Structure 1
Amino acid sequence: MKSNRSYRMKARAEAAEQTRLDILAATAEFAVVKRLVDISLGEVATAAGVSVQTVLRKFGSRAGLIEAAIGRVALEVDKERPVPVGDTAAALEVVVDEYERRGDSLILLLAQENYDPQVHRITERDRRMHRTWVETVFAPCLPSSAEARDELVDLLEIATDILTWRQLRRCRALDRPTATRRMRTLISALLESSPGSRS
């Protein structure tokens, strides 16, 4: 009797978690093609196969839903973006992989940051994450001087930034290998010309 009740409770908990994940996935899918401010609870609920009341019960508010959905994507990015310390070629492939998967939706997000405070918080968090990634990946190549180090990290951030990828892949319409090669050329030039670099 007790084992049956435990089984039912476990099944309910798993179903509730699956519902939560379905709602987050639906929200993330809309965020790829729409501004966050234009995503309605109704369309998310319909796409997830639940009611608006269920969405609100799970996340408390529309803002809570958006925050949770973006947070889930950020966790996925963290898992998908390993840190190959010192291996600049592998690092570039990792970051380009991410941009190829999510670049257009991230560009759409950036376009909203000046008028949506919630989006601004998200993009600022993403920038901090990217800088930390750059500092870690390129640590063996960075100068010992704090000023020179900050300058090189700034420039390496730009060389590996999503807007650099966008310029090459979307504005210039280059194929991925060519765009990646040009980003690699930027990185190599920075590492070779930086005074005090340990490359």
Structure 2
Amino acid sequence: MGARAAAMEVTRTRVLEAAAALWMRRWYDDVTLQHVADEAGVSVQTIVNHFGGKEGLADAVADWVTSQTAVNRQAPTGDVAAIVAVLFADYERHGDANVLWTAQMDRVPAIARAAAHARSQHRAWLEQVFADRLPAPGPAREHALNLHHAATDVYLWKLWRRDLGLSRQDAERAMCDLLTSIDPRNRHDA
């Protein structure tokens, strides 16, 4: 990579980090390109040149955050406590922002696209980390995946940690208990 390309990549990353940081704390509509430019130490024109505008920036931020999440969510297959610990590490860092973004998905197309992609990535992650317990492809597998998705959703984390005020340890234990209780290998009615 040449020096110019490297400098462009550094600038692009700085803008992505600035926009992500702002959107993790504030509503999409409350963040302008000028806010992002000020945070990143660049001009608005630089952002437009790299991303085409606010919606293009939002799409790029969503992709960038998704790639960061994938790196941080490495967990051993079948180890429920380790899986939950990895998930909680991510939710403790980004859960409030996830909830904030999700609350806006009905009115901001870029966020709706990001949410759909995040759900797809979460499902793929669930298929990977719970591969040892999922039934063969078919209706039983879909049912099991739906249960695992609900049991690991950010809104359940929010309920336990924010709404009910559980400690992280108690919330992790609750999620482990829930995941253990829905293990299809232990169900006799399926």
Normalising by the smaller structure, the TM-score range is: over 0.9
TM-score, normalised relative to structure 2: 0.93
* Cα distance in 2 for residues equivalent to 1:86 and 1:196: 22
* Cα distance in 1 for residues equivalent to 2:131 and 2:4: 47
Check if 1:157 corresponds to 2:149: yes
Check if 1:33 corresponds to 2:25: yes
C-alpha displacement of 1:34 = 1.1
* Cα distance in 2 for residues equivalent to 1:61 and 1:126: 22
Largest Rg, 1 or 2: 1
Aligned-residue RMSD, C-alpha? 1.7
Check if 1:77 corresponds to 2:99: no
Contact 1:83 1:133 in 2 (8 A): no
Structure 1 residues 159 and 111, CA gap change in structure 2 (3 angstroms): same
Aligned residue in 2 for 1:194: 187
C-alpha displacement of 1:144 = 3.4
Which stretches of structure 1, 4 residues or longer, exceed 3 Å deviation after superposition?
A: none
Check if 1:139 corresponds to 2:131: yes
Contact 1:169 1:176 in 2 (8 A): yes
Aligned residue in 1 for 2:44: 52
* Cα distance in 2 for residues equivalent to 1:87 and 1:181: 13
- Percent identity over paired residues: 37
* Cα distance in 1 for residues equivalent to 2:32 and 2:115: 21
TM-score, normalised relative to structure 1: 0.89
* Cα distance in 2 for residues equivalent to 1:50 and 1:15: 13
Structure 1 residues 38 and 96, CA gap change in structure 2 (3 angstroms): same
Which of 86, 91, 94 is the matching residue for 1:99? 91
Structure 1 residues 150 and 194, CA gap change in structure 2 (3 angstroms): farther
* Cα distance in 1 for residues equivalent to 2:121 and 2:22: 24
Q: Which amino acid aligns with 1:132?
A: A
Aligned residue in 2 for 1:12: 4
* Cα distance in 2 for residues equivalent to 1:196 and 1:91: 26
C-alpha displacement of 1:130 = 0.9
- The secondary structure found in structure 2 opposite 1:114 is coil
Aligned length: 189
Structure 1 residues 40 and 181, CA gap change in structure 2 (3 angstroms): same
Note the residue ranges of structure 1 that are not aligned, 5 or more in a row.
1-8
Contact 2:51 2:57 in 1 (8 A): yes
* More off after superposition, 120-129 vs 80-89: 80-89
Aligned residue in 1 for 2:162: 170
